[in-house]
Amino acid sequence: MDGCKRLSASHPPPDTTQTMGHDHDYDCSFVTDVVTEGRVSTAEDVLDAHAKDEGPHEAHRPDVVVWPDSTREIAALLAEANDRTVPVTPWSGGTSIEGNPIPVAGGIVLNTSEFDEITVRHDDLQAVVGPGVVYDDLNAALASHNLRFAPGIAAGDIATIGGMIANNASGLNAVRYGVTGDHVLRLEVVLPDGRIIECGRDVPKSTAGYNLKDLFVGSEGTLGVITEATLSLEGIAQHRHAALVTFPSSVAASQAVSTIMASGLTPGALEFMDTQLVELLNDYNDDADFPAAPLLLIELHGNSGDLSTQMDRVRTICEDHDAIEWSEADTDDIETIWRARRDAYPAACEYYADQTVGVIGDVVVPISRYPDIVSRIETISDELELLTPCVGHAGDGNIHFLPVVDTDDPAAMDRVQELTDAIVSEALELGGTATGEHGIGIGKRKFMRQEHGDAVDVMSGIKDAIDPRGIMNPGKTLPNDD
Amino acid sequence: MDGCKRLSASHPPPDTTQTMGHDHDYDCSFVTDVVTEGRVSTAEDVLDAHAKDEGPHEAHRPDVVVWPDSTREIAALLAEANDRTVPVTPWSGGTSIEGNPIPVAGGIVLNTSEFDEITVRHDDLQAVVGPGVVYDDLNAALASHNLRFAPGIAAGDIATIGGMIANNASGLNAVRYGVTGDHVLRLEVVLPDGRIIECGRDVPKSTAGYNLKDLFVGSEGTLGVITEATLSLEGIAQHRHAALVTFPSSVAASQAVSTIMASGLTPGALEFMDTQLVELLNDYNDDADFPAAPLLLIELHGNSGDLSTQMDRVRTICEDHDAIEWSEADTDDIETIWRARRDAYPAACEYYADQTVGVIGDVVVPISRYPDIVSRIETISDELELLTPCVGHAGDGNIHFLPVVDTDDPAAMDRVQELTDAIVSEALELGGTATGEHGIGIGKRKFMRQEHGDAVDVMSGIKDAIDPRGIMNPGKTLPNDD
């Protein structure tokens, strides 16, 4: 794999309908009765492109890829597939890490890229969007309204709203603005048997009945296909003020995070990088000359030019936690501060010419346990003789670990898997979760029972109630122990 | 009913175990095998106190009330009740409006008031609490940590966390801090068959599996019994600044709400009162002398003394929307502004000596439709010859209507019901919801199909999967059409 290069399989549909001549797992010839010519493909390169996301997981090629262009078409397709017990795996931007949208047993991949409409309801602070809308495109469309869809994901140039909802994606700005699910007010969903339902309403709050909306958010396409969403939006803060602070230890940095979060300040971003990553940054960028020590990046958002007062308060907190170096920048030159964060992943990737990031790990622990997980990652990496720089959304207790290895060396990749298993188990023992942003997909099914215990049986019961034939994205999310 | 007087049935358990001598719907004698002596009652006054919440709904007395004091005891009780198909209705503070915690067919009322432990995890910005903890008691315990559980409900002196979670309660401060569910990280739940599960983890975010936590939040005790919750907390803002603004029309006031919300400012509260209510306030309080016109109450929260700049921005927005009068106050004398809001309900109650509020209506519409719902409520009230002052959390699109009638006059109460039905239908047609804060309970079941369509069948499927014998709080939440 090339962990630094991103490919999207969400291209427009091919020009010609392909014949279904190849060996297949399921007879999917019925799809051409439902989805119009030109939006169905069995071309080898198309099947290949939909058999791989950005993670290391091996999957099974689909038998066919379809690009439906209406909710009714999806409803008809699912009803037919359900009758025939043919698996259907929804596909969005393909930027996932855990194999979330790639089939494990063939069948149909349902690419939602045709659903790319955006309707902005400015006075309601809402947008109604299709699942195929790209995150950055949505925010570009919202900019003229001075509004924003705020979770702040890393792959925003490719990832789509459908995938973000299905995986409850988030990133840099979730610490202030919440994760994707916090911004979803309503979903139109096609159920596995072809029924179309609405989950939630176009209002800021409701207490009317069971919360189906948040059941479908994060369900990774295993319960139905999302065909439309109403999102709540934020006004864009007029002022930003950022600081980069170095600490003598990750414990000191983590404690500063707790204190900042408890202070009543609401940072727009609060990021951590460990010493290893800082050293890689110094290697990567000739202009970078950070002390070899953990750092925090803190950004404040506001509307009345008062941010320097608030930032002074952050600085005092950091100094109380023995901060070594402090630099700051405001709205206009804020990128000078954020360059360090932007360079984190490429710096890790390009550490050696023949090595790259084996996996992007993703766990969350309670904020107070952040120093513990950082130090445990260090110990486990040392034991496995891996270089594992870390970067994370510290304000959320979220940490990404980036083991740098030769990804073509199976023995090295085995150690990466061992590392991941050990770190996830450690996070769970610290009261954390196996995944803060990337979801369960294929890769983390084995931790579901450890994390959730008997609650997994309730999840399975819900899956059976909604998708009794198990056609929706089989082999994902729920554990493989039952 | 006395709409202004609040009674709590969540008193400590009685001193003596009562015999089960009265006529009963279910044989509940088994409960004394499970719940220890002194925490079981069939006393008439106890049964009566658990057959009525603060709303107008008639219910059925329970056969027995129990006060379990451990999760294991609840698990054993539910397992036995499930074997015998005996209804169990969880009871918290009893401050609900829609009959949410009152039995409709006898059986067991399970009072959670013994679960009143609070553990504050300051560094994690979390508290672990039992369902019997009173909202104000929790915030009193958090104050020394400079932390707060923020939804801001009206009945905070009686309502408990269990009921708040079961109904996904919210109030004044939800516009900035979110509703109860937004602050629930983890729940311990006893399922109807006695299994104990954990939903969610003690972390700010997770994408591990289906979101069961938000399925149990707002499920009104129909899926299981919540026995413990981890809540996320907020730092307490050091500065508050409030303004009271009068507008020439409810349309102008509503448009100012939209503009304020879209401005990137995040008010701590944003409340609306209509002309009728303002006139009642002038009657009620000798010091009050508001222009007879709609008003907004706006509060800003912050930490760096900068609020006057932000408030100037709010003022400019209000002036752009033709505001008539403006008054403001800061942290120390902020109660002068909020007295108007605090007086709203008593003012409506005491309008005439022999009349009171027939029902507290509760609908939400998209913010842009706020003027429409206000004007429709006015029209419907005129048609039904009812005086219906309105007050609401305008920043959330939430409005409460308070028809003032002689509640002992059945014909008047019929008109109140007609009013409620018409306003809810109108809210639904405007894209809104039947309830923003009070839940479905008994009173709003009839709107579930209109609001949710076929999604109701998915809710029923989930209910059947989790509670196949239907013992948990039967006759609530789901509609009575199936």
What's the pLDDT score for residue B196? Answer: 98
What's the pLDDT score for residue B220? Answer: 98
Q: Taking the CA atoms of chain B, what radius of gyration do you get in angstroms?
A: 23
Could you give the CA distance from residue A431 to residue B333 in angstroms, rounded to a whole number? 43
What is the average pLDDT value for chain B, to the nearest integer?
A: 91
CA angle B126, B127, B129 (to 5 degrees): 150
State mean pLDDT over B6-35: 65
pLDDT band at B330 (very low <50, low <70, confident <90, very high): confident
SS3 B391: strand
User: Looking at CA atoms only, how far is residue B36 from chain A in angstroms?
Assistant: 28
State mean pLDDT over B228-232: 98
Architecture of domain B237-439: 3-Layer(aba) Sandwich (3.40)
Could you give the CA distance from residue B30 to residue B33 in angstroms, rounded to a whole number? 5
B207–A437 CB contact, under 8 Å? yes
Architecture of domain A239-346: 2-Layer Sandwich (3.30)
Q: Which CATH topology does B118-235 take?
A: 3.30.465
For residue B477, the chain A residues in CB contact (below 8 A) are: 209-210
CA angle B348, B354, B356 (to 5 degrees): 30
CA B67 to chain centre: 23
Could you give the CA distance from residue B294 to residue A109 in angstroms, rounded to a whole number? 54
**Any alpha helices (H) in A384-409, and if so which ranges?**
none
What ipTM, to 2 d.p.?
A: 0.93
B435–A170 CB contact, under 8 Å? no
* Segment B365-395, tens digit of pLDDT: 999 899 899 999 999 999 999 999 999 999 9
Q: Say whether pLDDT at B19 is over 70.
A: no
The least confident of A35-44, B164-173, B352-361 is B352-361
pLDDT band at B304 (very low <50, low <70, confident <90, very high): low
For testing contact with chain A, the best of B167, B206, B220 (most A CBs within 10 A): B206
State mean pLDDT over B231-245: 90
B459–A182 CB contact, under 8 Å? no
User: Looking at CA atoms only, how far is residue B150 from chain A in angstroms?
Assistant: 12
Q: In what order do the strands lie in the sheet with B363-364?
A: B325-330, B239-246, B295-302, B269-273, B390-392, B398-401, B363-364
Which CATH entry fits the domain spanning B31-111: 3.20.20.240, 3.20.10.10, 3.40.50.20, 3.30.43.10? 3.30.43.10
A303–B265 CB contact, under 8 Å? yes
Nearest CA in chain B to A187: B455
B191–A146 CB contact, under 8 Å? no
User: Looking at CA atoms only, how far is residue A395 from chain B in angstroms?
Assistant: 9
Q: What is the pLDDT along chain A (482 residues), one digit of tens a residue?
A: 333 444 444 444 544 444 444 557 899 999 999 998 899 999 999 999 999 999 888 878 999 999 999 999 999 999 999 999 999 999 999 999 999 999 998 999 999 999 999 999 998 999 999 999 999 999 999 999 999 999 988 899 999 999 999 999 999 999 999 999 999 999 999 999 999 999 999 999 999 999 999 999 999 999 999 999 999 998 888 889 999 999 999 989 988 998 898 887 889 999 999 999 999 999 998 888 899 999 999 999 887 666 888 899 999 999 999 999 999 988 777 888 888 888 888 888 888 778 888 889 999 999 989 989 999 999 999 999 999 999 999 999 999 999 999 988 999 999 999 999 999 999 999 999 999 999 999 999 999 999 999 999 999 999 999 999 999 999 999 997 64
* Segment B386-423, tens digit of pLDDT: 999 999 999 999 999 999 999 889 999 999 999 999 99
Decide which of A303 and B117 is more confident.
B117
State mean pLDDT over B157-170: 97
Q: Say whether pLDDT at B60 is over 50.
A: yes
pLDDT band at B439 (very low <50, low <70, confident <90, very high): very high
* Segment B202-223, tens digit of pLDDT: 999 999 999 999 999 999 999 9
Could you give the CA distance from residue B433 to residue B463 in angstroms, rounded to a whole number? 21
Give the Cβ contact number of residue B119 at 10 Å.
Answer: 12
What's the pLDDT score for residue A5? Answer: 40
For A247, half-sphere exposure in the C-beta direction (CA atoms, 13 angstrom radius) is 26
Among residues A202, A57, A236, the alpha carbon closest in space to that of B366 is found at A202
How large a percentage of chain B has pLDDT more than 90? 75
The residue extents of the domains of chain B are: 31-111, 118-235, 237-439
